[in-house]
Amino acid sequence: MAGIPLFSLAGRVALVTGASRGLGFAMAEGLAEAGATVVLNSRHADTLEAAAGKLRARGLKVETAAFDVTDASVSRTVETIVGQTGRLDIVIANAGVNHRAALAEWTAEDWDRMLATNVTACFFLAQSAAPVMRRQGYGRIIFTTSITARRGRATIHGYVAAKSALAGITRSLAAELGTYGITCNAIAPGYFETELNVPLLENPDFVAFVNGRVALRRWGKPHELAGLAVLLASEAGSYITGQDIAVDGGLTTTL
């Protein structure tokens, strides 16, 4: 739109789940640096406040909302956030969990937990945010998926299934919500140096294996995901919707 800086998020309000550390924190930091008021979420109030403090110390506009994304009351939480901030323009549904076990060792509880956090919670968060965005005639819904939705890996069956489903939901929501000025996209990270990947990072053979497959020959740093989040949340990404975009150093595009 003429007169609006392409990558500015000034005046926008964003909710980022799973934002106390790792990729969620990096994306939240990027949105805040672009001018947005960012509401950080995690289940734990203490770690959430510590994360918020790091951003506030830099003069960035940050609020917090401690809640479990799998809680049935998430719609009321969204209403509370809107009541406090006056609007909700951007939702990044990033909170996720992983579980690694051989096929024979998976239980129904393990499977259900993967789907509840990685798919169901994201869907109903989007459902709760969409009415607000429709009234505004503007909205950005962004999911964190994974390259494992494209390239399977042993032992993380529930995670792969969940992220594959979330990539599909990205497309269906984009198709339904576009007429209201709402875009829906997903970011599919490759291998990043985060707390979630500590078990992998502690295995030098696996680190070397990934480095050998990635075109850039290294693991990603969390801040390297922030730029795409800002793009998809801003006017610069206003004609991008229904996409699941890999940020993986070239892992899925090389042999």
Residue range 13-246 forms a domain whose CATH class is alpha beta
pLDDT in tens, 108-152: 999 999 999 999 999 999 999 999 999 999 999 999 999 999 998
Domain positions in the chain are: 13-246
- Indicate the Cα dihedral angle 60, 26, 142, 171, nearest 10°: 160
How far apart, in whole angstroms, are the C-alpha atoms of residue 214 and residue 220? 10
How far apart, in whole angstroms, are the C-alpha atoms of residue 94 and residue 104? 29
Active site residue 180: no
How far apart, in whole angstroms, are the C-alpha atoms of residue 212 and residue 207? 9
Catalytic-role residue among 138, 159, 191, 239: 159
pLDDT in tens, 184-242: 999 999 999 998 889 889 999 999 999 999 999 999 999 999 999 999 999 999 999 99
pTM for this prediction: 0.96
How far apart, in whole angstroms, are the C-alpha atoms of residue 46 and residue 168? 34
